[in-house]
Amino acid sequence: MAQNVLRIDASARRDGSISRRLVDRILDRFAPASVTRRDLADPLPLIDETWIGANFTPADQRTDEQRAALALSDELIAEIEAVDTLVIGLPIYNFGVPATFKAWIDLVARAGVTFRYTEAGPEGLLKDKRAIVAVASGGTEVGSDIDFATGYVRHMLAFIGITDVTFVSADRLMIDAEATLKDAEAQVDSLAA
């Protein structure tokens, strides 16, 4: 049975992006699949006071303006709800995630919708999903003390309920791009579809 996959590209580069190239290779392993695409090179708006006010207003009391303020957030959450697997292309910019990816996180992490608070702590509500994150970096080694991207991504995905997370790493490309890419492609080839 074909899987439903959400492809999220966070690279600002549409051409020559290593994270996009790795995502293409990952999706080849899922073929045939139904793929929804979300390209963050088309930037998302940042949350603002209007959005926050709408988000903290009970759904049955929201004005038309507040519903409109949350419409994109609702759409992004629906994209996640509709799939089995998220495949995320994530470059590391300045040791962290691109601002556009952080904007995506801010729009999908919503109390009472994608997570809730319990006496035992927060509980993610988007369960039974898998995420594969293709990471590319010029000099930041994934998992090192200066990698502020992968731990954040793992934490935020778990926060909304996605705990089955695999990273494919093409890190330190500026040091040995050929060996790094070969290793990353081998990581993709070993993934279970």
- Please report the pLDDT score of residue 31 as a whole number: 85
Task: Specify the number of domains making up the chain.
Answer: 1
Question: Where in the sequence is the domain holding 62, given as residue range(s)?
Answer: 3-189
- The pLDDT averaged over each successive group of 10 residues in the chain (193 residues) is 90 96 94 94 96 96 97 98 97 97 98 96 97 96 96 98 97 92 93 79
- The Cα–Cα gap between 117 and 92 comes to 30
Instruction: Give residue 32's pLDDT.
Output: 86
pLDDT of residue 1: 59
Tokens describing residue 139: 């000099």
Structure tokens at 34: 């139904």
19 assigned binding-site residue: yes
CATH code of residue 103 = 3.40.50.360
Residue 91 token pair: 């470059």
CA 131 to chain centre: 8
Q: Report the predicted TM-score, pTM, of the whole model to 2 decimal places.
A: 0.95
Residue 190 annotated in ligand binding? no
144 annotated ligand-binding residue: no
Helix, strand, coil distribution of the chain in percent, nearest 5: 40, 25, 35
Contact 154, 161 (CB under 8 A): no
Specify the pLDDT at position 30: 86
Tell me how many degrees the CA angle 124-127-128 measures, rounded to the nearest 5. 160
Instruction: Note whether 126 and 46 are within 8 A (CB).
Output: no
Q: Is 34 annotated as a binding residue?
A: no
